[in-house]
Amino acid sequence: MRMTIGLVCVLVFVRGNAGAGEADPSVLTLERIITADEFRTESFGPARWLKDGTGYTTLEKAGGGQGRDIVKYDPATGQRTILVEATKLKPNPEAEPLGISDYTWSAEGTGLLIFTNTRRVWRLNTKGDYWHFDLKKQTLRKLGGDGPEATMMFAKFSPDGTRVAFVRDFNLYVQDLAQLQITALTKDGETTRINGTFDWVYEEEFSIRDGFRWSADGNSIAYWQLDTTGMQEYQLVNTTANLYPKLTSIRYPKVGQTNPACRIGVVSANGGETRWIDVPGDSRQHYIPRMDWAANSKELILQQLNRLQNTNQLMIAEIATGTVKTILTDQDDAWVELVDDLHWIDGNRFTWVSERDGWRHVYVSDRDGGPTKLITPGKFDVIDVLHINQSSHELLFIASPEDPKARYLFLAALDGSSEPVRLTPEDQPGTHQYQISNDGRWAFHTYTTFERPPIIELISLPDHKVIKTLVDQNVLLAKLEALKLARTEFFRVEVASGVELDGWCMKPPGFDPSKRYPLLVHVYGEPAGQTVLDQWGGRNYLWHRMLAQKGFVVVSIDNRGTPAPRGREWRKCIYRQIGILSSSDQAVALRALEARWPFIDPTRVGIWGWSGGGSMSLNAIFRYPDLYQTAVAVAFISDQKLYDTIYQERYMGLPDQNPTGFRDGSPITFADRLKGNLLLIHGTGDDNCHYQSCERLIDALVAANKPFSMLAYPNRTHDISEGTNTSRHLYESMTRFLEQNLKP
């Protein structure tokens, strides 16, 4: 139930003072936000740092107007060179240039892989076609042989750039780029035996896409294989595509049910038998969510989680024998986080991220299983490890010790000999992101605040000097300046002794503190995301701004259990009580705000959210019916037993070991307490939070004789964005419901 990538918010029509036919530039409307897309941010790239350190490449509109050129820049001199003209990327002389969804350079920089003609697979992965462009020969050739179009996934160069490995129809292949000969490395792939990629639950909850890794010498490929036999299937029913319903089956493990079995194999890049790694433990009661080569071509390093996800064992596997040994173990009374920030330092030592001292810190350990050394001490959380500078023995990471809403770049010595130093300028409060070059000398720097869209710069490091502004957002900034808005306020509210929650508040333009205003709370509240961040919120931000223009006060609060950088106890105190402590925190905070702010009308309080936020909105109006008069729940889970194993068991344990938590954390348990106005919104084709969850809640509300409103979108996924006019219709419906019931 991670925070939906489809949380697309749009705006309803607002009558301004402009004359007929003229749009008032100070007023937000659906027409401006969705139909005209006036407030979209300017993008950059995709950009790629070249491995040889000579610069970066990006895509720029071709001079002739068709396609995009691939252009190289030298950050030191600013020199611009067109490496590949769009005209060179035509499949034939009469065709248009390829539409580039993504691209990858070979290690030596003379080969280019172009990903195009893409189709979505579940929520994260895509499949499509791959083309190879040879810079030396200036030739363009389609890869994949005679296979069906748009069926290739994850094509990757071999280390020497002479071959490409890819996945198609659950099997792994290698194609040489000289003769285009294809070798099948696996032949047993099918819907229940998945090679080189993942099933729904691994992809969604472990956020992993490509399921194979080239060895450094190019001789071998290590890959995941998942066996989904024995797993229950969920049926998605499409009733609008044909005369009779069409069924789509997804193997989806709901909590407590059978998981896929996972194993790791290594196969020669020339084909042959796979050697399977002998990982101990029941493969259906453990997960292997991370795997890679261990800084050589003879060993793998992998992370194994038990089913409860409270123990992470880091293992080294010998390819020659298939045997493994555990070199590091992380345990927690709640759950442990996966380590995506493992970086090799000298081939023997590596970085490890752990909360073992109560804060998320970086440690250095070694492949022999020696003691780990803390290198980022202090009462703060490391949010992301970005780069290891081998020559200077320094670490670059993201943290925000003083403000959990912000993100800043820090530098620390790999031996832990000095205090971390902040590199982000002190006069730039907000959220900062960095895409750092391989040598650590340069970075693409993205800077944003709650009310300012992201500016993108080329900077040098470690001095953080701006070399070039890549995206200034001046067009968008001018439109934002013309809007009639009141400044957003950040606040903190106490919910227990020594426990304060972060929040933000939007007030109507011309706010009068002597008046009473309806309050709308935007909530997510689960461990997968924060809503209170000092960063640009896009359409979501603008929709809330539109509601403020119409007379609402809009707030959002991060309860305990959200992934804020406020220490382990903050994040994990909600273990086994998802939906219970979080909704209590929200309710206590609301009471405190009503006491603090007399301009809030306690008889006109609404709450809304999407996905986990939809579940939280239901918990709020069911469990605290005298606090919330109106709720809008979108793409929610009403009963936690209906969600998947990896996410729900991580935070709640197994249902037979925590029956009270599953019962009391599920909104459906309290549906008979509903007093106010409720709007349920769900896509019937949601493969993530199933429409089944909505229908079961409807049954409970009907049984309790509770009136409610609902809106089902046929065949829409968790995003509820597919189809003509869907987003606009959804948000018009939401806005109308809020206006009718909270009466701003």
Specify the pLDDT at position 71. Answer: 97
Specify the pLDDT at position 201. Answer: 96
For strands 311-318 and 324-331, give the pairing: antiparallel
* Contact between residue 324 and residue 317 where contact means Cβ atoms under 8 Å apart: yes
* Contact between residue 715 and residue 684 where contact means Cβ atoms under 8 Å apart: yes
Please state, in angstroms and rounded to a whole number, the distance separating the CA atoms of residues 639 and 525.
16
* Contact between residue 167 and residue 151 where contact means Cβ atoms under 8 Å apart: no
Q: Residue 325: beta bridge partners? A: 316
For strands 553-558 and 421-422, give the pairing: unpaired
Specify the pLDDT at position 341. Answer: 85
Phi and psi at 361, nearest 5°, equal: -130, 165
> Which residues in the chain come in under a pLDDT of 50?
4-20
DSSP 538-568: HHHHHHHHHHHHTT-EEEEEE-TTS--SS-H
Specify the pLDDT at position 79. Answer: 96
Taking only the tens place, the pLDDT of each residue in 263-304 is: 999 999 999 999 999 999 999 999 999 999 999 999 999 999
* Burial (CB count <10 Å: 0-12, 13-18, 19+), residue 90: middle
Specify the pLDDT at position 390. Answer: 87
- Give the residue extent of every domain in the chain: 30-41+477-742
Structure tokens at 173: 């292949």
pTM of the predicted structure, to 2 decimals: 0.94
Specify the pLDDT at position 589. Answer: 98
Please state, in angstroms and rounded to a whole number, the distance separating the CA atoms of residues 707 and 575.
33
Type of residue at 142:
K
Give the chain's radius of gyration (CA, Å). 26
* Contact between residue 504 and residue 487 where contact means Cβ atoms under 8 Å apart: no
Taking only the tens place, the pLDDT of each residue in 383-426 is: 999 999 988 899 999 999 999 999 999 999 999 888 999 999 99
State which CATH number among 3.90.700.10, 3.40.1350.10, 3.40.50.1820, 3.40.50.40 fits the domain covering 30-41+477-742: 3.40.50.1820
Element (DSSP H or E) covering residue 493: strand 489-496
Element (DSSP H or E) covering residue 480: helix 474-481
User: SS3 of 130, please?
Assistant: strand
Taking only the tens place, the pLDDT of each residue in 119-173 is: 988 766 789 999 999 999 999 999 999 999 999 999 999 999 999 999 999 999 9
**Of the candidates 466, 448, 460, 462, the residue with the CA atom closest to the CA atom of residue 396:** 462
* Burial (CB count <10 Å: 0-12, 13-18, 19+), residue 179: exposed
Type of residue at 312:
N
